[in-house]
Structure 1
Amino acid sequence: MKNLLFSATPLSSRLADVTWLLLRLHIGLSIAIGAGWSKLVNMTTATEAAKLAGDSATLGPPDWFVQQVANLGFTYPSPYTWAWLAVWGEFAGGLLIAFGLLTRWGAVQLAFQFFVIAFLWYESPEPVLGMYYQQLLFWCFVLVTVVGGGRYSLDYALTHPTGWLRRLVPTH
């Protein structure tokens, strides 16, 4: 079970692992903050930075997003339930990828979400030119699902007790 949850192996070089870490941080934090958190606090413009502190009384998907989810056909048990799962999936999944904890699990659920966004959202999505940003993210999440967290991830630290985390935090 430990291998299924936390499997991570180093890449071919330390440079490749550092590059992989930077990619994971970028796509993970971009989705967690830019997509998940911004919907949770109902941020509509980039200038509403005060909402990033969580001043909102309730955290949940905005009405416009619930309506979009309903228009896609996710109506049972309710569009709000699916919108809530999608928003929290973007937020939590992005953080999991960024920190490299349960990396594959976070990535596979985001790959599913971005498959829906990139290929099913519009009436006639174009496979290459239409929705290219969402398709790029979909393929990034597929890649993270296959590769895992790499050497500089919490998954790797948890499965390799003599790895980078032990050197960072001495036990004596």
Structure 2
Amino acid sequence: MLRTNRYPAHDFGLLIIRVGIGIMFMLHGYPKLAGGPAAWAEVGGVMAKVGLNFAPAFWGFLAALAEFGGGALLALGLLWRLAVPALLFTMIMATVMHLSSGDGFNGYAHALESTLLFAGLLLVGPGRYSLDEKLFGGRRW
């Protein structure tokens, strides 16, 4: 059974979301990535909240790379099944950090909203106007 989308601008809408959110995450991730090992260790310290008390700089570097590199891949619609789970996991951990720190709603809302956004994007895919579509023809790589 061939499924068609009843919304003709569906793929264009995904393009707007991908590019806008991707650029925003690049802007959030760049200072963390450029901050070096001290900044990475601070960001990666959140992993202790889930029992991973080793190598905070490593975890922080991965989080910064997920935000910056994942944001770039998101904007391009490239390597979707790598980029979106990395962003999703990073935002889950950010939500955990804010909640466990006792931050109020305004403290954790952005991270939680981003978590929900990436969970949804993981399910719908990058859309027709993506490099994954152009390079891989919509096939899962």
TM-score range, shorter chain: 0.7 to 0.9
Matched, 1:123 2:101: yes
- Provide the secondary structure at the position in 2 that maps to 1:149: coil
Q: Which has the higher contact order (CA 8 A, sep 6+)?
A: 1
Q: Distance in 1 between matches of 2:59 and 2:79?
A: 22
Contact residue 28 and residue 98 of structure 1 kept, 8 A: yes
- CA deviation vs aligned residue, 1:56-92 (integer Å, no higher than 9, x gap): xxxx35x24522422541432x111111111111111
* Structure whose CA Rg is larger: 1
Which residue is 1:22 aligned to? 16
Match of 1:143 in 2: 120
Provide structure 1 residue ranges, at least 5 long, that are not aligned to the other structure: 1-8, 43-59, 162-172
Shift of 1:37: 1.3
Q: What corresponds to 1:70 in structure 2?
A: 45
8 Å CA contact 2:23, 2:75 repeated in 1? yes
Q: 1:1-172 counterparts in 2 under 5 A?
A: 11-32=5-26, 34-42=27-35, 60-61=36-37, 63-70=38-45, 72-73=47-48, 74-76=52-54, 78-121=55-98, 122-124=100-102, 130-160=107-137
**Over aligned residue pairs, what C-alpha RMSD do you find?**
2.5
4+ long deviations beyond 6 Å: none
Counterpart contact for 1:103–1:144, Cα < 8 Å: no
Aligned length: 132
Q: Which structure has more helix as a fraction of its residues?
A: 2
SS in 2 for 1:131: helix
Identity of aligned residues (%): 28
Question: Is the 1:105–1:145 Cα contact (8 Å) retained in structure 2?
Answer: no
Structure 2 length-normalised TM: 0.79
Within 2, Cα distance between the matches of 1:123 and 1:99? 34
In the aligned structure 2, how far is the partner of 1:129 from the partner of 1:67? 21
Q: CA deviation at 1:119?
A: 2.7
Alignment TM-score, normalising by the size of structure 1: 0.66
